[in-house]
Amino acid sequence: MYKQLIRPLLFKFDPEEVHSFTNSAVKSAFHLPLAKSITKSLFQVKDPRLERKVFGLTFPNPVGLAAGFDKDAKMIDEFSELGFGFIEIGTLTPKAQEGNPKPRLFRLPQDGAIINRMGFNNHGVDAAVERLKTRKSNIIIGGNIGKNKVTPNEQALQDYLYCFDALYDVVDYFVVNVSSPNTPDLRALQEKEPLLDLLANLQNRNQGKAKPKPLLLKIAPDLNHAQLDDIVEIAVQTNLAGIIATNTTISRAGLRTSSQQIEAMGMGGLSGRPLRDASTQVLKYLRQNLPEEIRLVGVGGIMTPEDALEKLAAGADLVQLYTGFIYEGPSLIKHINKRILS
């Protein structure tokens, strides 16, 4: 019903407005009698064979919601009923920020893709913390953290430390985001020296806690092998728990959408089906070169259960959905979990 009826209707409207509208509609719908039980029966797959022990955490299933969809932790309880094994919030920054000027979110239906240049729009980490304190669901939560746009790279560490300290008591793992293409100069933090300094300092803060939490790094799909080798070295040196591969791409290669339309959309990160192969290749390379104890999360272009299985076969311990969730609807979570069991 989603692809035949709901999606065509939603796709007639502005993507960002639709995102806000559907979230509000879902939240309202969950106040109706039997809404939760009906949702569970439609979408949840519970089976002990789906459990994954990763980063010292027990995930009820390996299919998660990627960062960017519920930036401000407003929909944790609702999304937890759709069958996700975990939810990643953010990217969060110390101060609230509006992000880039609108329009900044574009659909490419011919390609099963999205271009976004949101720019870390969020209400600030402290507001998210207050919401997480009142959540009813016990689903595993990852905290994806970044820096404010106005913060120069030389002072970025303080932004990341602020977010880390604020979220520490209300999330289960952390993700350091230095790979978004939509914050000026952010990707420069992926270079070897600044990245090593950033992660080493965050890990020092983490290890100073009574119970350190898993610290992960999210990387771009546009890195070459030499850059990936640096990532491997840094991950080992800073004792990372894992790497998320990958964020969106700045490439526009091989798209069916016309070049005129692409140019009109402008800059931004591309996600969805065209990203699948590139992200999988990064995943494979990392798995071949990383120690086994550093775990991997595969994200990018998962539009079908077969795409998810491909990521798992390439070395991912967990997978995450974003664009596939938009194009295929919540049934994709169920179909992936059932396919894993088959």
Q: Which residues are part of a known binding site for FMN? A: 67-71, 91, 144, 177, 218, 246, 272, 301, 322-323
| Positive/negative CA dihedral, 220, 221, 222, 227 | positive
Residue 321 bridge partners (DSSP)? 65
Q: Which of 180, 251, 271, 342 is catalytic?
A: 180
- In the chain, the amino acid numbered 148 is N
Other CB atoms within 10 A of residue 277 CB: 14
- In the chain, the amino acid numbered 93 is T
Residue 331 corresponds to which tokens in the numbers above? 């049934």
Burial bucket for residue 229 (CB in 10 Å: 0-12, 13-18, 19+): middle
- In the chain, the amino acid numbered 331 is S
3-state secondary structure of 97: strand
Residue 180 in contact with residue 91, Cβ under 8 Å? yes
Residue 120 in contact with residue 149, Cβ under 8 Å? yes
Q: What is d(CA 34, CA 29) in angstroms, rounded to the nearest whole number? A: 10
Where do runs of H (alpha helix) occur along the chain?
A: 7-10, 15-29, 35-43, 76-80, 125-133, 156-167, 192-207, 225-237, 259-265, 276-289, 305-313, 323-328, 331-341
Of 67, 241, 45, the residue nearest 142 (C-alpha): 67
259 is catalytic: no
Of 260, 74, 90, the residue nearest 163 (C-alpha): 90
CA distances from 54 to 49, 86, 95, 99, 216 (A): 14, 12, 31, 33, 12
Residue 225 in contact with residue 285, Cβ under 8 Å? yes
Catalytic positions, please?
A: 180
